[in-house]
Chains A and B, each alone.
Chain A
Amino acid sequence: MRSAVPILTVVAVILGLWYLAVGPMNFRLALDAATRGGEAVTPATPDEQSETGLIRLMLDNPDVLPAAYAFERPRLPQPQDVVVEIYDNTVGLARGCEWQGWGAESDNWTGLSDGCLRVIENRRSLIYHAWKTLAPTLVGFAIGTGLGILLAVGIVYNRTMDLSVMPWAIASQTIPILAIAPMIIVVMNAMGIQGLLPKSLISSYLSFFPVVVGMVKGLRSPGSMDLDLLRTYSASRPQEFWKLRLPSSLPYLFASLKIGIAAALVGTIVAELPTGARFGLGARLLSGSYYGQTVQIWAALIMAAVCAAGLVWLIGAIEKRTLTRLGLVR
């Protein structure tokens, strides 16, 4: 509860700034409409207007400002419009949703009325699109984490890998994901692989890196005394790994996982952009920008942010549980 106040304060500040920005952002559009509607504006022609600064225009035409806020297809929508859009496309679709009980009377095998399934299956449903993005994200995150941990173990235990893998891992992250995403999709398509897996690969491409970096640091975190202690017991290398290096690396691993899962989500959304995907939050962003539906774009963006926050929170919860059970958190 104590954390609610600062969070709400930040949200309020962001909403305030957003609201303030709506007028200036949409002002030229509104002025344009007013000019075409024959209203008296200064300067009078669009050419002159486009050569005048925004602040000057706003000062000279204060009457247009309300129109800028009420603009039909705004460049920047008002926050409440986005909230309404999100509501309409999630909870709003749930009207007529009820539990009908198992058996013959229900619309389908789940016992939920068809109204409920609309929330999930409706092409407008943000929950549907979010799920289409989340599923590859989770698969990609799992692949990336597994790969990252394996690489880290290799780097720590094998001198050749130590010298050779890291530069490549770093280089891999300097390639813009937007550049290779279409190639991966096309190549996999040619191999007959479609759907979730190509997206997952791209998201794992982004998520393995923080895991490698954090895990290498974590596996190397035991001090020389901790290692010497095991040497006095003549412990084998696997024993050293399981009993010392792995447990010491867990706090580092969890920090990396939080970065990794957010990166995985970004990876999936980016993977949806250049490939004309029809489902997923990335697809919503894309179609929104095709049709100038800024409200739709913002709704998808906020949904993505909510997903990312939820995923990071989930990792945090698992982290807390694990580390508490291990006695690493007091």
Chain B
Amino acid sequence: MIKAEGLNLVFQTNDGPVHALKDVDLGIDKGEFVSFIGPSGCGKTTLLRCIAALEEPTGGSLTVNGMSPDEARRNRAYGYVFQAAGLYPWRTIAGNIKLPLEIMGFLRSEQEKRVNNVLQLVDLEGFGKKYPWQLSGGMQQRASIARALAFDADLLLMDEPFGALDEIVRDHLNEQLLQLWARTDKTIAFVTHSIPEAVYLSTKIVVMSPRPGRITDIIDSPLPKERPLDIRDTPEFLAVAHRVREGLRAGHAYDD
């Protein structure tokens, strides 16, 4: 579904060039749940933005659904969830979810149907008429996921969507996200700073390290698709978490 080969991106800044992505090779298949983990500044956001055609790579090749990222975007290949919910305050929750639908020219009746549909998916039925400020942070983030789901893209790009939330809400949303993924058969690319979150959610974990931003390890998770929260105490889980931690450490050793 996503194929990157020798992907490079150099930002030209006032303090000279910043090598944000160096020789990134990565393949993501349909239906996978891929997490990107790594220290701050290792290029996770940049990689996601390249896939979303919000950033232009300076070298290498990148295809999404066999197309260039630009074409893929025009074909509504993905929904993007930002770190902050980013709901427009002058629109209700339903209005926010309708935003992409209006822009993409869906029929009005179809819009209503889809709004109700995705509100149900993220467990926010009955909140459509509320304004964003009337919802908790976790609910707002779910609404922003609903907005990304509304136009039914096969690919969901999520950049630390739960980064600003507390542990308990986060666990809950992680569980819901897994259920949603299982139900909808989507491909998800998910950026996180948390090792347990990455291991719990993913079928594939991409470990990255900074300066220059690059991939140091790709781990295929042996965990089953069915994952209750307490799977996090099993030896298999801990083994994967250990390997991720090792990967992160190795990235740092490189650095010194």
Whether the Cβ atoms of B131 and A243 lie closer than 8 Å is no
Residues of B within 8 A of A83 (CB): none
Contact of A231 with B131 at beta-carbon distance under 8 Å, contacts A243-B99, A328-B90 already known:
no
Contact of A228 with B54 at beta-carbon distance under 8 Å, contacts A233-B103, A239-B103 already known:
yes
How near does chain B come to A69, taking the closest CB pair, in angstroms? 57
Q: B212-225 vs A: 1/0 string, CB under 8 Å?
A: 00000000000000
Whether the Cβ atoms of B73 and A234 lie closer than 8 Å is yes
- The residue in chain B whose Cβ has the minimal distance to the Cβ of A229 is B86
How near does chain A come to B53, taking the closest CB pair, in angstroms? 8
CA distance A214 to B89 in the complex (A): 20
Whether the Cβ atoms of A327 and B91 lie closer than 8 Å is yes
Mark the stretch among B74-82, B108-116, B176-184, B191-199 that contacts chain A: B74-82
Contact among B74, B90, B92, B103 for A247, CB-based, below 8 A: B90
CA distance A231 to B74 in the complex (A): 10
Tell which of B73, B82, B103, B131 has the most Cβ of chain A within 10 Å. B103
How near does chain B come to A325, taking the closest CB pair, in angstroms? 9
Give the B interface residue count (CB, 8 A): 23
Contact of A225 with B89 at beta-carbon distance under 8 Å, contacts A232-B52, A235-B103, A330-B133 already known:
no
Whether the Cβ atoms of A225 and B84 lie closer than 8 Å is yes
Whether the Cβ atoms of B88 and A247 lie closer than 8 Å is yes
Tell which of A225, A234, A244 has the most Cβ of chain B within 10 Å. A234
Residues of A within 8 A of B78 (CB): 232
CA distance A233 to B148 in the complex (A): 10
Q: A243-266 vs B: 1/0 string, CB under 8 Å?
A: 110010010000000000000000
Whether the Cβ atoms of B92 and A229 lie closer than 8 Å is no
A226 within 8 A of B: yes
Whether the Cβ atoms of B86 and A243 lie closer than 8 Å is no
B100 within 8 A of A: yes
Contact among B80, B91, B131 for A229, CB-based, below 8 A: B80
How near does chain B come to A147, taking the closest CB pair, in angstroms? 25
Contact of A327 with B103 at beta-carbon distance under 8 Å, contacts A225-B84, A232-B73 already known:
no
Contact among B84, B104, B133 for A233, CB-based, below 8 A: B104
How near does chain B come to A57, taking the closest CB pair, in angstroms? 64
| Contacts across chains A and B counted by CB atoms under 8 Å | 47
CA distance A244 to B92 in the complex (A): 14
A326 within 8 A of B: yes
- The residue in chain A whose Cβ has the minimal distance to the Cβ of B99 is A243
B102 within 8 A of A: yes
Whether the Cβ atoms of B90 and A225 lie closer than 8 Å is no
Whether the Cβ atoms of B103 and A228 lie closer than 8 Å is no
CA distance A230 to B147 in the complex (A): 12
Contact of A228 with B82 at beta-carbon distance under 8 Å, contacts A327-B131, A328-B90 already known:
yes
Whether the Cβ atoms of B54 and A231 lie closer than 8 Å is yes
Whether the Cβ atoms of B86 and A327 lie closer than 8 Å is no
Interfacial residues of chain B within 45-83, with CB under 8 A of chain A in the complex: 52, 54, 73-74, 76, 78-80, 82
Residues of A within 8 A of B92 (CB): 327
CA distance A250 to B88 in the complex (A): 13
Whether the Cβ atoms of A244 and B103 lie closer than 8 Å is no
CA distance A236 to B143 in the complex (A): 24
Whether the Cβ atoms of A225 and B103 lie closer than 8 Å is no
Contact of A234 with B80 at beta-carbon distance under 8 Å, contacts A327-B89, A327-B91 already known:
no
CA distance A226 to B104 in the complex (A): 17
Residues of A within 8 A of B100 (CB): 233
How near does chain A come to B74, taking the closest CB pair, in angstroms? 5
Interfacial residues of chain B within 150-192, with CB under 8 A of chain A in the complex: none
CA distance A232 to B90 in the complex (A): 20
Whether the Cβ atoms of B54 and A232 lie closer than 8 Å is yes
Interfacial residues of chain A within 113-136, with CB under 8 A of chain B in the complex: none
How near does chain B come to A234, taking the closest CB pair, in angstroms? 5
Residues of B within 8 A of A250 (CB): 90
CA distance A31 to B76 in the complex (A): 88
Contact of A232 with B103 at beta-carbon distance under 8 Å, contacts A225-B86, A244-B88, A327-B91 already known:
no
CA distance A20 to B28 in the complex (A): 84
Whether the Cβ atoms of A230 and B103 lie closer than 8 Å is yes
Residues of B within 8 A of A239 (CB): 103
A-B interface, 8 closest residue pairs, ranked by CB to CB distance from nearest:
A326-B90, A327-B131, A232-B80, A233-B103, A247-B90, A233-B100, A235-B103, A225-B86
A-B contact pairs, 20 of them (CB 8 A): A225-B82, A228-B54, A228-B82, A232-B73, A232-B78, A232-B79, A233-B99, A233-B100, A233-B104, A234-B73, A234-B76, A243-B88, A243-B103, A247-B90, A250-B90, A326-B90, A327-B89, A327-B131, A327-B133, A328-B89
B interface residues, Cβ below 8 angstroms from A: 52, 54, 73-74, 76, 78-80, 82, 84, 86, 88-92, 99-100, 102-104, 131, 133
List 18 other contacts, CB 8 Å, given A225-B86, A243-B88, A327-B92. A225-B84, A226-B88, A228-B80, A229-B82, A230-B103, A232-B54, A232-B73, A232-B80, A233-B104, A234-B76, A243-B99, A244-B88, A247-B90, A326-B90, A327-B89, A327-B90, A327-B131, A328-B89
